[in-house]
Amino acid sequence: MTDRYRSIVDVHVILERGDEILLLERQGTGYCDGMLHLPSGHLDDGEPLTHGAAREAHEEVGVHIDPADLVLITVVHHRQRPDLARIGMFFTTTRWTGEPHNAEPHKCGKIQWHDPRLLPEHTIPYPAAGIAAYLTGIPFVAHGWNDAS
């Protein structure tokens, strides 16, 4: 019997403040250092999606989010390379406690609030695809695949 296909599940959080969203500048990770990303990370084994998203937001920007306050806004099936695909679950919220700050300075250079309609050029394309879907209300995006990127 062959093993079933398994994919990495990523959780992304769009923290909304007025007309802006929070982005983090990656550093020291070896993946897209110097580029902007949302608070995000991998889902842990046995962890509900909303709990993973709330955990990642707390770990990266120090805010506490009630998982019930997270709204799933899009799913991005991202092909990172020919042998690796990821499924990104993008959540949004306007409710959290605590002031966002750089809670992982060894992985993040700084945090910045940006207009999601005018993303900086150095935003990583994968989260940029999720942000674009958030803005347009598209529930699913195939990103990085030959037939639909």
Q: Please tell me the predicted confidence (pLDDT) of residue 6.
A: 81
Over the stretch 96-118, which tens digit does the pLDDT of each residue have?
A: 999 999 999 999 999 999 999 99
How does DSSP assign 105-129, residue by residue? Answer: TTTEEEEEEE-GGG--TTB-HHHHH
Cβ–Cβ < 8 Å for 63, 15: yes
**H or E, element range at 131:** helix 125-136
Of 26-35, 56-65, 70-79, which range is least confident? Answer: 26-35
Of residues 117 and 84, the one with the higher pLDDT is 117
The CATH class for the domain spanning 8-143 reads alpha beta
Cβ–Cβ < 8 Å for 70, 50: yes
pTM for the model: 0.94
